[in-house]
Structure 1
Amino acid sequence: MRDPGGTQEVVKDDAAAEMPQEDADDDRRFASTLRNVVGEKRHKAWFEGRVGFDLSSNDTLVVIAGSTLECDCLRKHFKAELKQACRAAGLGSRSIEFVVDAAVAPTPARQDRPAEPDEPAVKAAPAPKAPPKPSEAPGFLVSDSNREAAKLAELIAAGSPAPSPVVLWGRGGTGKTHLLRAIADGFRSRHRRKRVVRLTAEEFTSGFVEAVHGRTLASFRGRCRGVDLLLIDDIHFLLGKQKTLEELQYTLDTLAAQGADVVLTSDRSPAELRKMSGELLSRLGAGVAVEIAPPDHSLKSRLVERFAQQSGVRLEPAAVRMIASGLIGGAWEIRGVVNKLGLSSRLLDLDICEKAVGRAIDDMNRVSTPSVGVKQIQDAVCSVFGVETGVIKSKRRTKSATEPRMLAMWLSRKYTQSAWSEIGDQFGNRSHSTVISACRRMDELLGSEASVHVAGRPCGLQEAVRLVETALRTA
């Protein structure tokens, strides 16, 4: 049976535990509906005996696959059809989560089949696994760049008092969605009688629009406002959608009055969400905003190692360091480089050498970063360090001149296709050997977590790089 909060109550006897009948019916109905939606041939190729489903949550369908590659393929090709199958099976509009479980072979959705002669009709329910803490969630690693957000997420998952709403913000690839999932999973496991809804801003928008046109607004509001924890991913998607923003504002007001918690994510800080109404911005300001910074060198190295292990790609320590120090971007870009190296190694039978790694890094940097010139980099560096452009072009050898000068040369080499000599010409006609020496020195300092002086105050070199890259993106 189900309690009002949507959790399952399993009744056990001395021999075994029975599955609630309505859950078994839901599973069978969904399995049959999915087969009809995707077709018998595609179902057999992609789902039968290969993929498991968890329908225990009232608002989420969890799809369990044996590898990251299978999850990525299912997400790309079948997400819309999985949602369609949920609606057609009478399970409502659900968000779709994809989970990798290589340790335990996934089982498909329960089929309506008789028990084998020597198979007991009822099997004992397995003991539930303790969910990981947010800092231990699969795909989410903690470092100085995201430690504050991870600690706050752990408090919310435990049900401890926290300012609401919480806005976790940072650019793509910093782990915002992973952290949001960890909060939802941790909260559900600790508070099984409380309601949790996690959805994207796009799902919030489409659900609201469908409710308005289908005259089911009361049902939509009941789903989003009758909860103990609401999590919405990528609220920057709502910019310019005034009616949806109004609905979000009223939802936040209702949940605040009920004492419910709200966690939102965005790719920019609340102060940069200027197109939102002043009233909604004031609601966000009543809570707390925590930045998840781009991964630092240490975290990038660990991400490279994790993705390489998941993909079965063997990388030497030197290659890991090279990717971590040379790649611009976050987890998505790192995964892309590892996948490209693995593909070249398997299909083309090429060794993963230093040249191959460098080529993969350069290709990814060209695709994932804005097109900037040396002049723009100089302006961004000088703006962050609080010096005039003439200072880094001068012959001065004080720290206030050499530190921003080396960083600007290093970024010029990473962001542009300029030759060593061309970069030197734009820094006071310096020789190409001077630029090479500056870039090598920067690589050494980044590996040692050195600090520099930014606007007269000590600052970690990696943090200074992040500040300049942010300035370049927003210029």
Structure 2
Amino acid sequence: MKQLPLDLQLPDPTGFDDFLIGPNLEAFLALKALADGESPESCVYLWGQAGAGKSHLLRATVARAGDAGLDALYLDARTVAPGESAHGHALLAVDHVDALDPAGQIALFGLINAQRECGFAIVTAGQQAPAHMPLRDDLRTRLGWGLVFEIAEPADEDKAALLRHRARARGCEVDESVCRWLVSHQRRDIGGLVSLLDALDRAALAAQRPLTLPLVRDFLRDAEAGN
């Protein structure tokens, strides 16, 4: 399959309207209320496997709070340790807290306390429930202070519907059978499936072919042969 160097990737959608709610309605509504300043809670922790949508929800919460005029900040603890610059935001989101080193854990512990004392909000996320996190005991306790939600993976039919919606957003009509096949045969997490669909769409445009199952199989065979 001949492929041209096209750069047609859409930015990853990060709003609440782009989140596939599935079994996570309670967490979804709680975070929207927090972003709108309508929640009595000041501390929310999300946990679940990689690709479940935790980062999407944290970014959506920060974006909605910013749109409402609140000073909101998102931090990815894998790349940026929470420091002095993280203090004083009306809403703070710290992602991948399980990646924090001992100094970062102490800093996050202080941030949670400071946010609560100032009447500000903090949303954090990791891959395990607070009691099972490989963190300091006092930090595990703080993470479980407020609301704790497990972000569960949506059903396969919901994932297929999301892929079709994503394709249409790119201006690409794709048969529902293709989306169902991708969900059942490829990476199961939403992020991986969306990235694969985007790559398939670019390949279809480059080859001037419709995005069908034969094209998908050709693309995957060529990709595997190139590894």
Residues 1:142 and 2:82 are matched in the alignment: no
**Cα RMSD for the two superposed structures:** 3.0
Match of 1:284 among 143, 153, 156: 143
C-alpha displacement of 1:300: 0.5
Check the 8 A contact 1:304/1:334 in 2, yes or no. yes
Check the 8 A contact 1:166/1:262 in 2, yes or no. yes
C-alpha displacement of 1:360: 5.9
TM-score norm. by structure 2 comes to 0.80
Match of 1:229 among 81, 87, 91: 91
- Percent identical pairs in the alignment equals 24
In structure 2, how many angstroms separate the alpha carbons of the residues matched to 1:289 and 1:299? 24
Match of 1:295 among 116, 140, 154: 154
In structure 1, how many angstroms separate the alpha carbons of the residues matched to 2:40 and 2:220? 41
Which residue is 2:105 aligned to? 245
In structure 1, how many angstroms separate the alpha carbons of the residues matched to 2:66 and 2:48? 25
Q: What aligned pairs does 1:285-364 form with structure 2 within 5 A after superposition?
A: 285-357=144-216
In structure 1, how many angstroms separate the alpha carbons of the residues matched to 2:43 and 2:221? 40
C-alpha displacement of 1:362: 8.7
In structure 2, how many angstroms separate the alpha carbons of the residues matched to 1:257 and 1:336? 41
In structure 1, how many angstroms separate the alpha carbons of the residues matched to 2:67 and 2:189? 30
In structure 2, how many angstroms separate the alpha carbons of the residues matched to 1:160 and 1:185? 16
Letter of the aligned partner of 2:74 in structure 1?
A: R
Check the 8 A contact 2:71/2:90 in 1, yes or no. yes
In structure 1, how many angstroms separate the alpha carbons of the residues matched to 2:62 and 2:46? 14
Match of 1:257 among 112, 117, 133: 117
Would the alpha carbon gap of residues 228 and 347 (structure 1) be closer, same or farther in structure 2, given more than 3 Å must change?
closer
Which residue is 2:54 aligned to? 176
Gaps of 5+ in 2: 1-6
Deviations 1:99-155 (A, max 9, x none): 89xxxxxxxxxxxxxxxxxxxxxxxxxxxxxxxxx642xx323222x2222111111
Letter of the aligned partner of 1:258 in structure 2?
A: C
Q: What aligned pairs does 1:17-56 form with structure 2 within 5 A after superposition?
A: none
Would the alpha carbon gap of residues 142 and 359 (structure 1) be closer, same or farther in structure 2, given more than 3 Å must change?
farther
Bigger radius of gyration: 1
Would the alpha carbon gap of residues 287 and 359 (structure 1) be closer, same or farther in structure 2, given more than 3 Å must change?
farther
Deviations 1:317-372 (A, max 9, x none): 222222233334222221233134323323334554434435667999xxxxxxxx
Which moved further from structure 2: 316-325 or 351-360?
351-360
Check the 8 A contact 1:167/1:290 in 2, yes or no. yes
Gaps of 5+ in 1: 1-66, 73-98, 101-133, 209-219, 365-475
Would the alpha carbon gap of residues 261 and 351 (structure 1) be closer, same or farther in structure 2, given more than 3 Å must change?
closer
Which residue is 1:195 aligned to? 71
Q: Number of aligned residue pairs: give it.
A: 218
Check the 8 A contact 2:75/2:94 in 1, yes or no. yes
In structure 2, how many angstroms separate the alpha carbons of the residues matched to 1:272 and 1:262? 20
Q: What aligned pairs does 1:413-432 form with structure 2 within 5 A after superposition?
A: none
Which residue is 1:47 aligned to? none
In structure 1, how many angstroms separate the alpha carbons of the residues matched to 2:88 and 2:170? 41
TM-score norm. by structure 1 comes to 0.41
Check the 8 A contact 2:174/2:212 in 1, yes or no. no
